[in-house]
């Protein structure tokens, strides 16, 4: 009993109450209770980008200047990414080549609907191509549209084993299937 009285006197002298949590310190209305550090929150885990170097693709669908989509017509339009940072392919009649660099985090496609943030930044630089005249004017037009898309590349994503090329704003340029 005497021990309880001594403890009560000590607690009262320290400004606390018998039921107070000693880890909180002074919790009188004039003194805010100290806060514990917030539990650390982890951001979404980063996903390793699929390996782009050493892959080859055949373009199947691309965006027209009007914004509609069309299938590649009468030719094989290809793109291959070498592990040394170069790329090359056929635009339907002519051959092209350049250098590529992928950078930044890779946003894995998980939503069920491709969006502008899927994939990773992609820069296609130093683009050059041959300038043979093709027999078919429609193939020449298609070729010009594909070359424009390559020059406007800004993002790439691998979605269900299909390579997608988008511009820097995330707008669709073309998609492929494995070669």
Q: Residue 45: its pLDDT value, please?
A: 47
**Would you say residue 18 has pLDDT above 80?**
no
Region 26-36 average pLDDT: 40
| Confidence band for 87, pLDDT divided at 50, 70 and 90 | very high
User: For all residues of the chain together, what is the average pLDDT?
Assistant: 80
CA 115 → CA 13, 23, 70, 165, 171, distances in Å?
Answer: 64, 49, 19, 12, 9
Predicted confidence at residue 46, as pLDDT, reads 57
Name which residue leads in pLDDT, 21 or 31.
Answer: 31
Domains and CATH numbers, the chain: 55-178 (2.40.128.270)
Residue 114 has pLDDT above 90, yes or no: no
């Amino acid at each position: 009993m005497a021990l309880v009285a001594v403890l009560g006197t000590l607690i009262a002298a320290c400004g606390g109450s018998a039921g107070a949590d000693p880890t909180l310190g002074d919790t009188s209305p004039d003194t805010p209770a100290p806060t514990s550090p917030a539990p650390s929150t982890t951001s979404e885990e980063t996903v390793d980008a699929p390996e782009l170097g050493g892959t080859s693709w055949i373009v199947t669908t691309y965006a027209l200047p009007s914004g509609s989509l069309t299938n590649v017509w009468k030719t094989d339009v290809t793109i291959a990414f070498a592990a040394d940072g170069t790329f090359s392919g056929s635009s339907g009649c002519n051959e092209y080549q350049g250098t590529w660099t992928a950078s930044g985090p890779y946003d894995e496609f998980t939503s069920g609907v491709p969006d502008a943030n899927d994939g990773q930044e992609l820069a296609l630089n130093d683009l050059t191509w041959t300038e043979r005249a093709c027999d078919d004017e429609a193939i020449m037009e298609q070729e010009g549209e594909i070359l424009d898309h390559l020059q406007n590349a800004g993002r790439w994503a691998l979605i269900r084993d299909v390579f997608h090329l988008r511009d820097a704003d995330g707008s669709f340029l073309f998609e492929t299937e494995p070669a």
